[in-house]
Amino acid sequence: MAGSNPNSSDLERFRSEAIDFLEAHAEPKAHAQAFVWGKGPDDPSLFEEVDREKELQELAEAKKWRATKFDAGFGWITGPTEWGGRGLSRRHERLFAELELRYEVPSQGFFGIGLGMVAPTIADHANPEVAADILPRMYRGDIVGCQLFSEPGAGSDLASLQMKAERDGEEWVVTGQKVWTSGAHYSEIGEVICRTDPDLPKHKGLTGFVVDMKAPGVEIRPLRQMTGGANFNEVFFNEVRVPDAWRLGQVNDGWRVALTTLMNERASIGGGPGYGGGFTRLKEMIRHFGLADDAIVRQQLMDLYIRGSVLRYNNHRAVAAMKRGELPGPEMSGAKLLLTENMRRTSAFVSHVLGPKLIADTGEWGTYSWSGYVLGMPGMAIAGGSDQVLRNILGERVLGLPKEPGIDTTSPFKDLKVGTQNRD
Ligand SMILES: Cc1cc2nc3c(=O)[nH]c(=O)nc-3n(C[C@H](O)[C@H](O)[C@H](O)COP(=O)(O)OP(=O)(O)OC[C@H]3O[C@@H](n4cnc5c(N)ncnc54)[C@H](O)[C@@H]3O)c2cc1C
């Protein structure tokens, strides 16, 4: 989908066009200057904790910004021109993203799952007419997508899922329950994996579909997590009718479809050292609380720094491999594992430094606000492949250890070239 390698004058032209657009439509960020303790936003939470009314307002702003970008040619930089994209390279896309970071623009987190995971799967597996209809609307922000994979009895062992789809002429009838569906309540479409043949081995009887989240029979109920927010939901499908044209891939080949999404999921979660607002913030925290000379605290801080640097270099290596046209390998599983480990250590560090200020809200800047990070961290160690499952992947695919015994006798991964994208 992405265009060919650009030369430097191409990129320079694009850069000045992008700056003109950003200057005309957004305010430059005021706090490009050095971090100062007590100034600026102090909330490093890992999940948005706004109530659903406020969330809808933020969504409307986010959609408006996406539409403005799309209409100006910056919303789908690598997309095919016939679908409203620019047909440019990933370097152009990265350049725009870097420039955009310097401006105050609405959070684009609402689109993370839809554009990061669902859209690439639609591009690879949907029939061309459906892709041509849906993808431009997703990139313009007119519709948001969610991922309906997990079920009460199928998370790490995703292929055990039971939601069924039965064929009825040119439609399918979908019945069952999904759970932990992030953003289902504001999504217009979802990617769902269903069981279409219960007599086949579990990885073989699955089929993927795009579903209309507003269709009759779809019921969405919020699930509140310990951070206080309700980012995700349980979603019930009661005889929901889905056109066959909205099928992803071949009938009973849904595992391949799921793997495309999961590969993109892990790639989109990696990135960043996981400090929660930057290393300087942690450094200034120990200064502020008079712990800069404390040998244990300094040791912990340097440990975080070293681990963050290793993660950053690992990510550079993965990006370099992708630039060479290679698929991401087990380093994406390693990156996600390093990320959550750094988050776990950051949680322990701030808990040690802040003590009771972390759990009692005194109104002091940069203290209680960390509770959103500390309580959100365990979710990060589960979402997109739990730590234990990622360790299994590294053990088997990097160290070459024998596959752990499972209930299946044959491995569904034996022919897989890419080592990281599946939940086991
Ligand atoms: C913040 C968040 C957002 C999410 N968003 C979505 C979403 O949008 N869409 C969606 O479909 N799902 C979503 N999920 C669900 C997520 O994919 C699952 O929670 C995850 O796959 C784990 O499944 P499970 O919860 O059923 O736990 P289980 O699979 O039951 O695991 C329970 C425990 O057993 C361990 N375990 C399982 N198998 C093994 C093994 N083979 N070896 C060793 N240990 C093992 C796990 O590591 C875990 O500690 C989200 C989860 C979180 C936390």
pLDDT tens, position by position, 189-247:
999 999 999 999 999 999 999 999 999 999 999 999 898 888 899 999 999 999 999 99
pLDDT of 420 above 60: no
Q: Provide the mean pLDDT of the chain.
A: 89
Mean pLDDT lowest among 12-16, 138-142, 270-274, 275-279: 270-274
Q: Tokens 């206080």: give the residue.
A: 228
Say how far apart CA 23 and CA 209 lie, in whole Å. 40
Mean pLDDT lowest among 32-36, 259-263, 339-343, 357-361: 32-36
Residues 6+ apart with CB under 8 A from 168: 241
Ordered by start, the domain boundaries in the chain are 8-107, 145-253, 270-397
190 phi, psi to nearest 5 deg: -140, 155
Cβ of 266 less than 6 Å from ligand 1? no
Alpha-carbon distances of 389 from 276, 333, 395, 414, rounded to whole Å: 24, 9, 10, 17
pLDDT attached to residue 228: 86
**Could you say which architecture CATH assigns to the domain 8-107?**
Orthogonal Bundle (1.10)
User: Ligand 1 center to residue 270 CA distance, Å?
Assistant: 17
Residue 324: pLDDT band (50, 70, 90) is confident
Q: Dihedral sign, CA of 72, 77, 81, 83?
A: negative
pLDDT tens, position by position, 93-113:
989 999 999 999 998 999 999
pLDDT attached to residue 73: 96
Please check whether the domain covering 145-253 is classified as CATH 3.30.565.10.
no
> What atom in ligand 1 is closest to the CA of residue 156?
29
Name the closest-CA residue to atom 52, ligand 1.
383
Name the closest-CA residue to atom 22, ligand 1.
155
Residues 6+ apart with CB under 8 A from 91: 5, 6, 11
pLDDT attached to residue 408: 58
User: Ligand 1 center to residue 155 CA distance, Å?
Assistant: 5
Of the candidates 239, 160, 143, 237, which has an alpha carbon nearest to the alpha carbon of residue 206? 160
pLDDT attached to residue 45: 87
pLDDT attached to residue 305: 95
Q: Decide which of 418 and 106 is more confident.
A: 106
pLDDT attached to residue 415: 43
Indicate the pTM of the whole model.
0.90
Q: Which CATH number fits domain 270-397: 2.60.40.1120, 1.20.140.10, 3.30.930.10, 1.10.3720.10?
A: 1.20.140.10
Cβ burial, residue 28 (10 Å; 0-12/13-18/19+): exposed
- What are the catalytic residues? 265
The mean per-residue pLDDT over the stretch 317-332 comes to 74
DSSP state of 404: P
The mean per-residue pLDDT over the stretch 272-284 comes to 83
Helix axes 331-354, 371-380, angle to 10 degrees: 150
First-to-final CA distance of the chain: 30
In this chain, the answer to whether the domains covering 8-107 and 145-253 adopt an identical fold is no
Cβ of 182 less than 6 Å from ligand 1? yes
pLDDT of 400 above 60: yes
pLDDT of 424 above 70: no
| SS3 call for 146 | strand
Q: Kindly report the length of the chain.
A: 424
Of the residues 223, 380, 382, which should be mutated to test ligand 1's pocket, given the most ligand atoms within 8 Å of the CB? 382
pLDDT attached to residue 323: 72
